[in-house]
Structure 1
Amino acid sequence: MRLEGWKAVCTALLAIFMLVAAGPIRGEAVSDLADGRTGAIRFPSLTPSGPDQLLAGGAPEAVISGTLLLPDDADSTAAGRIPAMVISHGSGGIMPDREPAWAERLRQLGVATFMLDSFGPRGITATGTDQSRLPLAASIADALQALRLLATHPRIDPDRIGIIGFSKGGQVALYTALEPFRRAVMAGRNTRFALHIALYSSCSIPYMGEPVSTAPILMLLGGADDYTPSVHCGRYVDWLRARGGDVRLEVLEGAHHGFDLQTPPRFLRRVQSARGCGMDILLEPVEARLWADGRTLQGDEIGAYLRGCMERGGTVGGNPEALARAIEEVEGAVKGLIGAGRR
């Protein structure tokens, strides 16, 4: 499909998802999809205060939602199962020209899509100006709970479920490749994401936990991104690869944050950026370590450091050439997922 056709596609998809956004999704939360249902689905998750509580257990329970759609040509009576992709949104929530558009592209490839909404069910609109409104650990829990749920669907191959995310959701796509998080949420189950795709994710305060999944990881970053600079991600890629990670990193020159959006780039004054930070969050045990001198921070020291390194402002907007390249890269990665278990 040509890029100019996506505006019409997004308009149609927005009409569908506005039905969900118009109010709370009704119905009982479900822990499995054995009945083969699709559409808007409520399911249980967690809202941990941070990675330590997610790993240790005891995080408050939550009910969130997602929209599951199968490809148009998926015959529910056909033999065999199809691959699926979990879609994790960014700090702005589900955007009509991003998550629904990528969902449609993926379904055109024959892949089921499960578009998460980590914000709406928790009464949150966005976290771009204040990331503390929902800890990243909660979005990680949501994605892994979605994986667990999709694996029970009779039309979905549990061995061919991937994840794609944008900005904050891109971090989720990366960190779900870390075994400590997967193990904490999956409760003894062996199900893992078979593909991780991260678009313009931040790598300034990365989580580091071993072992690292051997599933393919694709990172697509903007070369002109002043919100989540690509330069910080090279270091994280090196760390992942040193631990067996199968990582492909592509920097799209001239592209800003949100290069897959339809709106032109503009500077947003109030968005919160970690571009001035440089701190690793190690897991098991959880501790913070500065890049500059290797010093370990604890308790109030972490908050003081973050208050000092966090900055305001960033350029966000689309780039047609970068979008075309991103579509090509994502299609290539997803076709590998499709072919890996074709039956």
Structure 2
Amino acid sequence: MTTITTRTVEYPADGLTMTGHLALPAGVDRRPAVLLGPEGMGLSDVERRRADALAELGYVALAFDLHGGRYLGDPEEMLARCMPLLADPDRMRGIGRAALDVLRTEPRTDPDRIAAVGYGTGGAIALELGRGGVSLRAIGTVNALTTGRPGEAARIRCPVWAGVGSEDPIMPPAQRNAFTAEMQAAGVDWRLAVYGGALHAFHHPPVGHPVVPGVGYHPRHAQRAWRDVVDLLAECLPVTGDPQEHRRQTTKRVLGAP
């Protein structure tokens, strides 16, 4: 296993003190970097492990916070905070830009080679960074086929990869169609992966608290979605010395694959 280092970083955003998880690859040189956004519940060990896995692959990775260091395990509390946030592109961009500033000022980060990957609310924030004109090498989003304000998708100047479960009631076919129509009209280099039989948050291992309806873990598709994210980064943000076997082993570590 590649030696990595991690640390907690605090920074202000959305009127809160956010607590992110920064993972650094071995070495002292500058590396490409990934901003990693969590589901609406907030930053948890799931995203921390993903950031660590990305650092093992050679990236500087920052898993950012949504709720001022809190994890919202109560679905009602989570929705009460996330629904107004998702309806406010400027707030989402503010949260994303604050985390991006932390990532960019990390000495190990190559500021010209940064991608944004997010899940659920974190994915919506990644998309809004692109719509806001932030220079990124790639955007990846799972469960967040959100549309933006008219015309702003034309500011996205990098490939966009999106993943969604075919049975996701929160991101139904009509929402998928609206998202892909927006991307196509804006001339974005986009792709969409639909994972057959999967529900919302299919990538997220089971949690020990109630969840909103329509959520369900799909282990096989979780592995596939992670590999698709890693492949997106390998294409748009390559790291020297990225053997396929290392990537397979990292997938197993993140997802507990056999």
TM over 0.5: yes
Specify whether residues 70 and 117 from structure 1 end up closer, same or farther in structure 2 by C-alpha distance, changes over 3 A only.
same
Q: Structure 2: how far apart are the matches of 1:261 and 1:173?
A: 18
- In structure 2, the partner of 1:287 is none
- In structure 2, the partner of 1:252 is 195
Q: Which structure has the highest helix share of the two?
A: 2
Deviation of residue 244 (structure 1)?
2.0
Q: Aligned runs of 1:1-343 on 2, under 5 Å?
A: 39-45=7-13, 47=14, 61-71=15-25, 74-76=26-28, 78=29, 81-96=30-45, 98-121=46-69, 125=72, 128-130=75-77, 131-134=79-82, 135-136=85-86, 137-179=90-132, 182=133, 192-203=135-146, 206-210=148-152, 211-263=154-206, 268=211, 271=212, 314-339=213-238
Deviation of residue 198 (structure 1)?
0.5
- In structure 2, the partner of 1:289 is none
Larger Rg: 1
Residue by residue over 1:214-233, the C-alpha shift from the partner in whole angstroms, topping out at 9 and shown as x without a partner, is 21111010011123325412
Specify whether residues 267 and 110 from structure 1 end up closer, same or farther in structure 2 by C-alpha distance, changes over 3 A only.
same
Deviation of residue 341 (structure 1)?
9.5
Tell me, yes or no, if the aligned pair for 1:194 and 1:215 is still in contact at 8 Å: yes
- In structure 1, the partner of 2:250 is none
Higher relative contact order (CA 8 A, sep 6+): 2
Specify whether residues 65 and 230 from structure 1 end up closer, same or farther in structure 2 by C-alpha distance, changes over 3 A only.
farther
Residue by residue over 1:179-201, the C-alpha shift from the partner in whole angstroms, topping out at 9 and shown as x without a partner, is 3xx5xxxxxxxx62221111111
Deviation of residue 238 (structure 1)?
1.6
Tell me, yes or no, if the aligned pair for 2:10 and 2:18 is still in contact at 8 Å: yes
- Give the TM-score normalised by structure 1: 0.60
Deviation of residue 109 (structure 1)?
1.7
Letter in 1 for 2:34: M
- In structure 2, the partner of 1:284 is none
Deviation of residue 206 (structure 1)?
4.2
Deviation of residue 83 (structure 1)?
1.0
Q: Structure 1: how far apart are the matches of 2:195 and 2:237?
A: 25
Q: Structure 1: how far apart are the matches of 2:178 and 2:122?
A: 20
Question: How well do the aligned residues superpose, as a CA RMSD in angstroms?
Answer: 2.9
Letter in 2 for 1:318: Y
Gapped regions of structure 2 (runs ≥ 5)? 242-258
Specify whether residues 177 and 127 from structure 1 end up closer, same or farther in structure 2 by C-alpha distance, changes over 3 A only.
farther
Calculate percent identity across the aligned residue pairs: 26
- In structure 1, the partner of 2:254 is none
